[in-house]
Structure 1
Amino acid sequence: MDENLFITQIQRYSLHDGPGIRTTVFLKGCNLSCRWCHNPETQKSGPQIQYLPNRCIQCGACLQACPQKALYIEEGHMKRNAGKCAVCGACAKVCYPDATKVIGEKLALPALMETLEADRDLYEDGGGVTFSGGEPMLQAGVLSRFLPRIREAGIPVTVDTAGCVPFDWFELLLLEVDLFLYDIKMTDPLKHKEFTGVSNERILDNAARLRRAGSRLWIRTPLMHGVNDTEEDLNGLHRFLEGLSGVERLDLLPYHAYGNYKAEGIGLPSRTFQTPSDEQMRRIQEYFSDIADAVSIM
């Protein structure tokens, strides 16, 4: 039985992943492929090599260290022959400017508990641990064995999810999770599939089922101008959230391009969208003010 989570990083002292001060564990693997993804390095379930050319000093240490001879210099940048690369991490171990990294590692519960215990004093004002990603619910089986021990230690648990998994995976965790940060990108099914690669039918259904089960939800909606901030999109989201009685909070996340350099570093295409204006964000915030106890622009 696997007793490890596959993660990309642990971010301590986080203020934007739930109430209070959080320790956020980013899990690797996602079954959506959002075109605007802020954490593209979390999409693939396995380990990856990330190369950031702006940090590279072209010392050649990685070329010498690579046992597969998969690396070479071209036009002043390190290149990788993906067919030869075994993702062994030898190049990253000798890269002191940190231009090359292995993204993805196994995390055992004792190591996680050590971090959480070290941060315990920070959680006194309602903080705790948040499992984000990627899609943490893809590792629900392992989480179902980890979370009871975290809860026994008196540490509140939040899960940040896009909700695109069978509902019985949520049922494994319902008693152990204090709060779900629940992403709803848009309610139009065709547009959702176009921009994320999957239908939103299961996502919307699971949100409703979680509320009926009594779970606390903070809804999160990323906003891209001309993509999902149109009157039609906002009306559709408003109607859906009206049916989710008892939503505590709606977080509006204006688009940013922070994920682009990370996408380029792992060989994924980068796409840039337009950020809604501050005035538009304020209008959207006001429009949804009757839906949740709090509507915030993140």
Structure 2
Amino acid sequence: MSMDGEKTGIVFNIQHCCIHDGPGIRTGVFLKGCPLRCLWCANPESQLAHPQVFWDERKCSLCGACVAACPQKVLSVSDGKVRVKPNTCVGCGSCAAACPLGAREMTGKRLRVDEVMREVLEDRIFYGEDGGLTVSGGEPLMQAEFTLALLRAAKEAGITTAVETSGFAAWETLKSLAPYCDTFLYDIKAVDPQKHLRYTGVNNAGILENLKLLSAHFPQCDIWIRTPLIPGYNDSEADMALLADLAKSVPTASQLHLLPYHDLGEGKREQLGEGEAFRAEIPTAEHMERLRDLLRSSGVGIAVL
């Protein structure tokens, strides 16, 4: 696997037999670190680039073993909860190691490329012609060297590759990965620049420019545009019109996916000690289909799913 096999990255999950992360059946490798701060983020444990600690209140007996073990002295027990001083945990894992009930556990682990590829290769029997490796996050472009090494290793093994990205990175970073990527799952949180800044914390000018550059310079890469639909935030008819115009401007985009908001990540912020969870209405199937119909009727010319 050459020197790439020794490169390391922080991985918070490896999912097997994924069917929603690119063509066919895939192995999803999820990396920590993301420059966006989407209000509705389903995986807040992916945002920081270093390992973190999850606390499961249901398993906790409030014994205080974690408090005693913390070398930073940032844990305390009060009002029936183990509390962490905001922005002080360094993710060393001492509290998780000391917990007798498994109420505290680490999310994020440093792995080598060859360790990840070992799991990918075990799954290849399921891939068929279309399946393969998808590198996601977080934002995999934040760990660009590790992502590139993973993609190259997969290609050397004859496995198809996909990258799920927000596109928020320097063009040179995206450009370095593209020769080794078959499919980009390109996440557009909002086309409206003011909404994007308000809801994600970053400007989307570079994101949109990178999408058009990717299509122009790497026509061999298939692009799936994907947008999370959050009722009351980015699901208006005006939002759909902007999204349709964007899709029409990307000639190598083959699919446009609307992803309905779900609440599976609501409790994670509290488990990470990061305060209240974001809550929004779950869109109905009828609402989602109406939005898809709006896009189809606008003449986007690609599959709307």
Shorter-chain TM-score category?
over 0.9
Moved over 6 A (4+): none
Picking from 290, 293, 297, the partner of 1:283 is 290
Aligned residue pairs: how many? Answer: 296
Picking from 183, 202, 219, the partner of 2:187 is 183
Q: Where do 5+ consecutive residues of structure 2 fail to align?
A: none
How far is 1:68 from its partner?
Answer: 4.5
Change (3 A) 1:63 1:255: same
Hey, what does 2:78 align to over in structure 1?
Answer: 74
**1:131 aligned counterpart, secondary structure:** strand
What TM-score, normalized by structure 1, do the two folds share? 0.92
Could you tell me whether the CA contact under 8 Å between 1:161 and 1:181 is conserved in 2?
yes
Q: Deviations over 1:70-98 (max 9, x none)?
A: 43322222223458754321221243543
Change (3 A) 1:20 1:169: same
The answer to whether the aligner puts 1:225 opposite 2:231 as a matched pair is yes
Hey, what does 1:293 align to over in structure 2?
Answer: 302
The answer to whether the aligner puts 1:89 opposite 2:96 as a matched pair is no
**2:212 aligned counterpart, secondary structure:** helix
C-alpha separation in 1, matches of 2:294 and 2:81: 48
What amino acid does structure 2 have at the position aligned with 1:223? L
Hey, what does 1:23 align to over in structure 2?
Answer: 27
The answer to whether the aligner puts 1:267 opposite 2:273 as a matched pair is yes
How far is 1:67 from its partner?
Answer: 4.2
What amino acid does structure 1 have at the position aligned with 2:303? A
C-alpha separation in 1, matches of 2:192 and 2:134: 29
Hey, what does 2:116 align to over in structure 1?
Answer: 112
C-alpha separation in 2, matches of 1:83 and 1:192: 25
C-alpha separation in 2, matches of 1:200 and 1:112: 32
C-alpha separation in 1, matches of 2:243 and 2:260: 16
**Identity between Structure 1 and Structure 2 (%):** 40
Change (3 A) 1:272 1:210: same
Q: Where do 5+ consecutive residues of structure 1 fail to align?
A: none
Hey, what does 1:153 align to over in structure 2?
Answer: 157
Picking from 190, 195, 202, the partner of 1:198 is 202
C-alpha separation in 1, matches of 2:119 and 2:75: 35
Hey, what does 1:41 align to over in structure 2?
Answer: 45
C-alpha separation in 2, matches of 1:69 and 1:108: 31
C-alpha separation in 2, matches of 1:95 and 1:15: 35
C-alpha separation in 2, matches of 1:94 and 1:21: 38
Q: Deviations over 1:8-52 (max 9, x none)?
A: 111112111111111111111111100000111111112222212
How far is 1:292 from its partner?
Answer: 4.9
C-alpha separation in 1, matches of 2:25 and 2:133: 9
Hey, what does 2:247 align to over in structure 1?
Answer: 241
What TM-score, normalized by structure 2, do the two folds share? 0.90
Could you tell me whether the CA contact under 8 Å between 1:12 and 1:24 is conserved in 2?
yes
**2:105 aligned counterpart, secondary structure:** strand
C-alpha separation in 2, matches of 1:85 and 1:168: 33
Of the structure 1 ranges 54-63 and 190-199, higher mean CA displacement relative to structure 2 is found in 54-63
